Chains A and B, each alone.
Chain A
């Protein structure tokens, strides 16, 4: 870590008069085990590192990166970033972050045990998971892959404007993808468990999840089209919230690409809906003390009791909107300049369990998985249409499985058609927490 911080500090020090320089230096080590048929299919282990440099001069921004910390390469990268800046359009709101006095949350996202966790133990975990999935139900035909993966990442961001922050985190996961069969029918389902260290992993839960998700869809048919209430499983809600976060991005709002522009203070969702982005929550998968510009992450309330409260901003978007950064700069590692985004979205949970919600809904559809989010959801127009699989809900309980259907509405309507938020909030991989969510009056397209 010291080496990363030193290098970032050195690069930021290269700023000339009238120039601002930001250096982001990152390094990560990853291990990935894939098990198939009781054997190790592959075992990968590697470290990668790199630097991303942003230069702002005369109101113009340039960026360059390199997958190397070799000093001559870093110098070349600096020169490229500087050269790139000369070709951009001047923008009076550009500028790097400056210290804003907000203290960063004390978050322990690092698990020391991971470094000493032997490779054989990682292999054994994935083998154990594969065995458990196969043994979980006689209808499991095979496990397409059983994986163990872990990673440890460290980063430092330093600017010539006085920012200096470091962050480090570990993470590991176990996952299996099962194929279940009965007669001619085949169905698939995945299960996983994630944590910051090996002790957090629950093999049994991951196995049970893969078994249940694949077997309960066996015999699924394509139902006739209908309008009905859908109950989204936790994982599906996580995906939906990730889509929603794009519409609450201050940069999209400023550029006229958000359906929520000019609607702060308005009722955009049902009263029961409160949405918060809080990366300072240590339970959140995306928890982080600092954002991608080195400012402290903070809790941002986006929708309270259905009323839109505001948007998230990085330094640039905030300046343009005339507000302070909300500590919401995000970046895809060293290969990109900071954008705007949420890290830890969650809906305020309601009082009911998933079973309780289904009982109240009576007739509807439990959606276990969705597909085609990138191709069928337009966050600008709000059109929402995704492939789905799940089980019908009849008389308040789960009935026959269904497949090859879509569910559709618009994002605007879905927020107003929420009929229940579950009490089963769980932090899942990604930028949002999972929770059961019931939405009325969606179109299910089938036969």
Chain B
């Protein structure tokens, strides 16, 4: 990465025309991926992105510029552009002394992706293809695709408050998707794993099992009937269902929405916003989970933040700018997609703590409803709290038993209402394994999520069956 003296000069230029705050964010990211589809390894891709983003803050205005030219000259031009954009008028040079702060990595990758032969990555895909096509009922599996992707992202942050920090994050992801064909048409199934670790992710990972689950999901849905249309009790399985909290309240607890009063959770710290079963945490320090890192993209160490405790709202998530205004520390939630983007408040690993009930008992005590075993993504309007999330594997619950598979559909609810209506939480906490990408204002970042099995007394299921 860059020498501190280069960063100091860039910060000096950025503040030469005045300015309250300046920051240089340097990123050097390499990624590689391989895709199999239709029985062929179609393509391997390698990518390299390297550059710096410089921001200058004057009052409430942020000026931003980025460059892929990391020479003194390139950084100077970007710093001048950022300063001009912020329209600093005060004048005067300010020297910045940088102090390196060591950051504790929650996990250290053991097998770096670039040290792994490409042939080994390809081998995984071929194996997954075979496995997905050879399980029970696999005659109906008509198509399989599989993907492998890794990235190694080195970042360095220096700012006018003297901060100098760096991190290296290695992430690896693997997923399989299957198409099954039957009398009722085509159905799809997906299963994947994603972690903030190197190739050791595959140590002890049952690749055949991942592929088999993708195939089984598609096959099960061949017999699926349309999902109900209307409000019913919903039991959500441990793990992947956590997208519920990401949408129902995660986004609404981001301080940028709070500052603009565009969140239903604005001004509600200290109030009961959820049923007492709900304790929600966002934690960037969680080992090798998908949303973990040592420092956020503003140089702040990752931390564990309790957002809701036994139903009471305790805090929001903060980035540097929002926390400065509120004169409090950042919570380590300032993230950006790349050096070409401004940071904003983002989640890391967001999860609901486990309760005490038996997951099977929760189902048994639900006379009629829907059991959601796996979810896709979701979307929320924080200002109204209305959110959707998609079910990709779900079943009918009849007389306290999980029965028929259901076709894909979205569920829709209102955040605060759903949080209040959680009436049972089991003790089987699990993190989602698949690894989600969260999109906000056009930027996408990896986020982790987790939850135990839980029940909501009523959510609208967007199917077609009456």
Task: Give the B-binding residues of A (Cβ under 8 A).
Answer: 36-37, 39-46, 48-50, 61-68, 73, 76-77, 80-81, 83-89, 91, 119, 141-142, 144, 179, 186-188, 222, 225, 227, 254-257, 259, 335-337, 371-372, 374-376, 378, 380-383, 385-387, 389, 403-409, 443-447
A375 touches B229 (CB 8 A): no
CB pair A44–B68 under 8 Å, yes or no, is: no
B60 lies within 8 A of chain A by Cβ? yes
Does B330 touch A at the CB level, under 8 Å?
no
Q: Find A445's partner among B38, B375, B462 (CB 8 Å cutoff).
A: B462
- Whether B179 sits at the interface, judged by CB under 8 Å, is yes
Known: A46-B65, A65-B47, A447-B231. A39 touches B461 (CB 8 A): no
Q: Once the chains are docked, how many angstroms separate the CA of A64 from the CA of B118?
A: 14
- Which parts of B119-164 form the interface with A (CB within 8 Å)? 119, 122, 142-143
Query: A43 and B62: CB pair below 8 A?
Result: yes
Partner of B47 from A187, A335, A447 at Cβ < 8 Å: A335
B287 CB to closest chain A CB (Å) equals 27
Supposing A371-B388, A380-B186 touch, asked if A179 and B383 sit within 8 A by C-beta, the answer is yes
Q: Is the CB of B383 within 8 A of A61?
A: no
B108 interface contact, C-beta 8 A: no
Q: Write out the residue numbers on chain B whose beta carbons fall within 8 Å of the beta carbon of A41.
A: 60-62
Known: A87-B34, A91-B40, A375-B390. A44 touches B384 (CB 8 A): no
Contact with A along B426-447 (1 / 0, CB 8 A): 0000000000000000000000
B439 and chain A: residue at smallest CB distance: A374
Please state if A385 and B181 are interface contacts (CB–CB under 8 Å). no
Contact status B386-A387, CB under 8 Å: yes
Q: Is the CB of B47 within 8 A of A87?
A: no
A447 x B460 contact (CB < 8 A): yes
Which residues of B in the span 21-63 have a Cβ within 8 Å of any Cβ on A?
34, 37-51, 59-63
Question: A84–B44 contact, CB under 8 A?
Answer: yes
Q: Are B61 and A40 in contact (CB under 8 A)?
A: yes
Q: Which 10 A-B pairs have the closest CB atoms?
A: A406-B462, A375-B390, A376-B410, A372-B388, A84-B44, A387-B388, A385-B409, A89-B40, A44-B64, A43-B85
Q: Among the listed B85, B262, B378, which residue makes an inter-chain contact with A44, where contact means beta carbons less than 8 Å apart? A: B85
B407 touches A (CB below 8 Å): yes
Report how far A41 CA is from B51 CA in the complex, Å.
Answer: 24
Q: Does any Cβ of A come within 8 Å of B81's Cβ?
A: yes
19 contacts between A and B (CB under 8 A): A36-B260, A43-B64, A45-B65, A46-B66, A46-B81, A49-B68, A67-B48, A73-B48, A84-B45, A89-B39, A186-B264, A255-B38, A375-B388, A376-B409, A386-B388, A386-B462, A387-B386, A446-B231, A446-B460
Q: Residue B298 at the A interface, CB < 8 A?
A: no
Residue numbers in A under 8 Å from B400 (CB-CB) = none
A328 to chain B, nearest CB (A): 18
B321: shortest Cβ distance to chain A, in Å? 10
Contact status B410-A89, CB under 8 Å:
no
- Where the two chains meet, the residues of B that have a C-beta atom closer than 8 Å to any C-beta of A are 34, 37-51, 59-68, 78, 81, 85-87, 118-119, 122, 142-143, 179, 181, 185-188, 221, 227, 229-231, 260-262, 264, 340, 342, 375-379, 381, 383-384, 386-390, 407-414, 460-464, 466
Which of A42, A50, A383 counts the most chain B CB atoms within 10 A? A383
- Closest chain B residue to A261 by CB distance? B186
The distance from the CB of B410 to the nearest CB of chain A, in whole angstroms, is: 3
A381: B residues at CB distance < 8 A: 185-188, 221, 407-408
Query: With a CB–CB cut-off of 8 A, which chain A residues contact B85?
Result: 43-45, 119
In contact, A62 and B186 (Cβ under 8 angstroms): no
Q: Which residues of the partner chain B approach A63 to less than 8 Å between Cβ atoms?
A: 43-46
A372–B188 touching, CB < 8 Å: no
Among residues of A, the one whose C-beta sits closest to the C-beta of B340 is: A48
Distance from A86 Cβ to chain B, minimum over Cβ atoms (Å) = 8
A85, closest chain B residue (CB): B44
**Cα A45 to Cα B63 with chains together (Å):** 8
A222-B384 Cα distance, complex, nearest whole Å:
13
Q: Are B63 and A385 in contact (CB under 8 A)?
A: no
B186: chain A residues at CB < 8 Å are 256-257, 259, 380-381
- Contact across chains for A61 and B42 when beta carbons are under 8 A apart: yes
Q: How long is the Cα–Cα vector from A87 to B119 in the complex, in angstroms?
A: 6
Rounded to whole angstroms, the CA-CA distance of A259 and B185 in the bound complex is 8
In the bound assembly, the distance between CA atoms of A82 and B42 in angstroms comes to: 14
**Contact yes or no, B463 A408, CB < 8 A:** yes
Query: Shortest beta-carbon distance, A120 to chain B, in Å?
Result: 10
Pairwise interchain contact A375-B376, C-beta atoms closer than 8 A: yes
B43, A375: Cβ atoms closer than 8 Å: no
A424 to B407, CA, bound (A): 34
Contact (Cβ within 8 A) A64 B231:
no
**Residue from the list B38, B45, B51, B384 in contact with A64, Cβ < 8 A:** B45
- The docked-state distance in angstroms from the alpha carbon of A225 to that of B460 is 9
Please state if B185 and A67 are interface contacts (CB–CB under 8 Å).
no
CA distance A264 to B59 in the complex (A): 61
Please pick, from B81, B118, B408, B409, the residue contacting A406 in the complex, using a CB distance under 8 A.
B409
B66 interface neighbour in A48, A65, A259, Cβ under 8 Å: A48
Residues of A within 8 A of B43 (CB): 61-63, 84, 88, 337
